[in-house]
Amino acid sequence: MLEIKNLHVGLEEEDKQILKGVNLTVETGKVHAIMGPNGSGKSTLSYVLSGKDGYEVTDGSAELQGVDVLDMEPEERAAAGLFLAFQYPVEIPGVGNMTFLRTAVNAQRKARGEEELSAAEFLKVVRAKAKSLKIDADMLKRPVNVGFSGGEKKRNEILQMAMLEPKMCILDETDSGLDVDAMKLVAEGVNALRDAGRSFLVITHYQRLLDHIKPDVVHIMADGKIVKTGGPELALEVENNGYADILAEVA
């Protein structure tokens, strides 16, 4: 599904390397987790994959189902099936949440050569999906994320993901700032989307989300590289001993 080879990324504005040779293969239908200390480059990886400005790819490649995404516009990446749930969801004053979702869904369908959903069809789907994430009608009517609590913003990211039905879902610290109940809701939302044809990259600083979203593979990222890969037990090792032991071991 996703194949990243030797990815080197720096900043456009400054002479600073952030990703220093990331290699990562996420198989179709699998859930991979990336853990790592603050500042190791986890968000940068997710931003570069989704096409955020300000970064410069200096070497390497990233292919989604065999197609290099790094030269595509963000909306082309989305149309190709890539989705990023932000660590810090953006507020969009003046744009209703429902309007935003419907525009995104229909743009996606158009890019895939599918018919647009009618207003009635869209309402039916969005209401059902919002309900399962405990997002009420009021939150659907308000401007995107404006005045939403931290937990509501993260749930809204999962609603976007559920509506767009991407193939490759990247979740950047979707658990940060959530209480246990909100985290469970988010995890249930993700688990409901798990499918043989869909892959996930779950970025998290802490292990607790992975109690609820069981990963197939766990990677540790440090200083711009994946330094260790293992099974779910690797996340428990981090939980018990922190990152220091693993970093000392790979140093």
Q: Parallel, antiparallel, or unpaired for β 31-35 and 199-203?
A: parallel
Residue 204 in contact with ligand ADP, rule: CB under 6 A:
no
Tokens 């959530």, located at residue: 178
Binding-site partner at residue 97 among Mg ion, ligand ADP, none, CB < 5 to 8 Å by type: none
Pick one of 4, 10, 35, 43: the residue that binds ligand ADP (CB under 6 A).
Answer: 43
Selected binder of Mg ion within 53, 71, 115, 138 (CB under 5 A): 53
Min separation Cβ 171 and ligand ADP, Å? 12
**Quick one: which segment of 20-28, 37-45, 68-76, 160-168 binds ligand ADP (CB under 6 A)?**
37-45
Residues 166, 197 contacting (CB under 8 angstroms): no
Q: Which of 30, 32, 42, 102 binds ligand ADP (CB under 6 A)?
A: 42
Q: At what angle do helices 150-164 and 119-132 cross, to 10 degrees?
A: 130
**Amino acid identity, residue 86?**
F
Smallest gap from residue 5 Cβ to ligand ADP (A) = 19
Region from 41-49, 77-85, 180-188, 225-233 binding ligand ADP, contact rule CB under 6 A: 41-49
Q: How many residues does the chain have?
A: 251
Please measure the distance between the N-terminal and C-terminal CA atoms of the chain and give it in whole angstroms. Answer: 30
